[in-house]
Amino acid sequence: MTRNARIAGWGKYLPKKVLTNHDLAAIVDTSDAWIRSRTGIVERRIAADHDTASTMGIEAGRQALEIAQLPASAVDLIIAATVTPETIFPACASLIQHGLGAHRAAAFDLNAACSGFVYALITAYQFVSSGTYENVLVVGSEVYSRILDWRDRNTCVLFGDGAGAVLLQATDSPTAALGFTMGSDGSGADLLYVPGLCGIPTRFSQNGHYVNMNGQEVFKFAVHTMSEATRQAIAAAGLELSDIDLFIPHQANDRIIKAAAKSLGLAKEKVFVNVDRYGNTSSASIPIALCEAVEQGRVEEGDHLVLVGFGGGLSWAAMVFQWSI
């Protein structure tokens, strides 16, 4: 029997330490004006020594379960979207499972870079809609501050740390999750990547295990891909752009968000932005933004939401929901 799925709970975790543009200007050749004009970012959060992708994911997941009024023992599956786990194995999701006490849950990680949360949400939806699981916890958690070259002003000013989570729950409602799309273009792998520990040493040894990015090419890809993926997901949902109440994009760069919104013809009040306060938190950015949109009263019962992300791979994904509590 095919079922639908709704977001029954949501939560976020943001480290306490705030790193401003002025702070960055003291350690790298940049300025507050330079960063704001190119990215819209004013500040970002930086993980404390005791913060990891799993500990932050545990806190975000705990909040999501509290809002859903669901005990951890009722969770069937945990999917963690991350590219910054503290171990290659075991999976970050397994550590989150243990930390929450979700002893019944299966657990695995998913790596689609900044698209990871939406990829994970779409994957969770398959498990729920097929009737396999009732409750799936989807977590996006990143500690990008540990894979940045703090001498490179083109990348170190962009990213921040944090975690977000949602509890996806089975429902008989014909609304809730309505449509999605996702894709990948591996020919663009070299445009945005972090060298791994297991790669060919001579290929990556020069720059270390840090974020490498071709900013201009990624910008062009992002604007086109977010717009196109949004259109595809809306079409898959049987809706029109005019039906969308809130657009929640990956928070990578304010200029990218504005350009995509302009391409889609979306009014400013229909676009959620918090990149100015947190920077690019990769797979955590969309669930953090969703949490804040709910907290700010930007989401109401029956609203149609678009969640859309893009990232390394190159990858992209979008999903349309009708909000239902």
Please tell me the distance from the alpha carbon of residue 293 to that of residue 308, in angstroms, as a whole number.
Answer: 15
Catalytic residue among 156, 250, 253, 291: 250
Q: What is the DSSP letter of 9?
A: E
Q: Which runs of consecutive H residues, i.e. helices, occur in 130-207?
A: 153-156, 201-204
Neighbouring C-beta atoms of residue 229, cutoff 10 Å? 26
Catalytic residue among 21, 280, 291, 304: 280
Q: Which of 207, 206, 164 is nearest to 10 (CA)?
A: 164
Tokens encoding 65: 């379960």
Rounded (10°) angle between helices 254-264 and 215-236: 40
Q: Is 280 a catalytic residue?
A: yes
Please tell me the distance from the alpha carbon of residue 103 to that of residue 138, in angstroms, as a whole number.
Answer: 16
Tokens encoding 150: 């703090």
Q: Is 114 a catalytic residue?
A: yes
Catalytic residue among 114, 156, 212, 291: 114
Tokens encoding 111: 């790596």
**Which residues participate in catalysis according to the annotation?**
114, 250, 280
